[in-house]
Structure 1
Amino acid sequence: MDARVLDGKVALVTGGSRGIGRAVAERLGRDGATVAVAYARDETAADEVVARIRAGGGRAFPLRAELGRHGDAAALWAAFDAAAERHAAAAGVDVLVNNAAIGRSPDLASLTEDDFDHVFAVNVRAPFFIVKEGLSRLRDGGRIINVSSGVTRIAMPEIIAYSATKGALDTFTLTLAKQLGPRGITVNSVAPGITDTDTNAGWLRGNPEAEAAAASLATLGRVGQPEDIAGVVAFLASDDARWVTGRVIDATGGAGL
């Protein structure tokens, strides 16, 4: 894609301070969007992302938004409205990336009801109500991109509840695409495989055996990088993807083929 293809657009990326969300925020910023970098607790990391986007000539602002509680979506949008008045050229949002998620959950034997409620609150309820509360702000012709996971087609019993949340998110994507099609708004999921992020750092980084095992799962023969996923999101955010909606885009490097 040509540089600055998102000039004049406003993007909101949840979980934008690290990992895949950070790479997505920085990529959309390089492509010309004004990026709201939403984060839960790590203000320093969010500020670093904003600084990197601005250093590259882009526009961005941090947005504190802790998800997983009732009222979290309304609070996020209230904070967005207040910040956008200062940082964005126009009200509203063009690209919404629902990336924030709890990355792990116990297996079935160890899972508690509290574990189940928490992972669904962050991974499913939050994006559902972020979209619901944001529809009046989302401009016609906009983009909603939900970050799903390859575990919706590759069984991993050790993270069964997490996998179920991503299946729910994909169904949400499909149904929402049908509802918002008349407004020209596309809705798609991106499904990464094993990716070198802070969430996986504890077992992956500095462990050659684990890295080799993870790489062997992908047909392309390596562990995914956050920038790999950001490139797919950037495509879906662009006008080049205007005729793609209701789809799950596999970004696992061909895992499980």
Structure 2
Amino acid sequence: MSVATRIDRRFAALQDEGRAGLVTFVTAGDPDPDTSLAILKALPKAGADVIEIGMPFSDPMADGPAIQASGRRALLAGQTMRRTLSMVRAFREGDDETPIVLMGYYNPIYSYGTETFLVDAKAAGVDGLIVVDLPPEADDELCLPALAHGLNFIRLATPTTDEKRLPRVLLNTSGFVYYVSITGITGTRAPDTTAVTAAVARIKRHTRLPVAVGFGVKTPEQAAAIAAGADAVVVGSALVEEVRGSLDAAGRATDRTVDAVAGLVRRLAAGVRAGRTVAA
């Protein structure tokens, strides 16, 4: 991609500041559309540098129990892809700088219509996509069209991505590389920071892109440890658990919901800022 995106600019700014970034994941429409938008608007002020928005899907095979539950809450509240894009547009009315990445599965995009989705996502203010069930062999399906529309396509690398596979994974990746710090589903185990630091260094031997590390990071202390060897730390399950824990007995948002999420983001951001960024 020849034109710098919001993601490119944000990571360049982080490098200038000499620190790692905080990437926060929330599910669109969880626990309801209005509260979800309020949470989204609160994230940058609380310290989020990049925001990933989960696209709810009925069969989220890579997600752990917390994010699966958040997707169910969103779908039951009537969340659709059109509402997700509308939420991004509403966010952009007050924030034209924070990068937004849509994360999820290909089925909702395919059902929407791939070309229509890419046009609408770009117009709404989306900056990048993470689609976990499209391998590099299917780049013609979505990755290359997304790049043509000016959207970063962010690929996952995992502990099982070996030296032979890694160059293929990185070939059309842009924006940043998302390193999955554990094998298995999201939010179920804590990462091994020593192994993560070594894995990030290995990836950086193959690419100049920033490397963000996620899956299993829940506390400021873990965030600080990961930030010592990565360009960004991704937190998702812990945030959607804050949503769940703030709901009333009927599963509805309370006056604590937005503050609960923002409060954890502030603590995580402080942890990330206490870490040390490895020079790119």
Give the TM-score of the pair, scaled to structure 2: 0.37
RCO higher in structure (CA 8 A, sep ≥6): 2
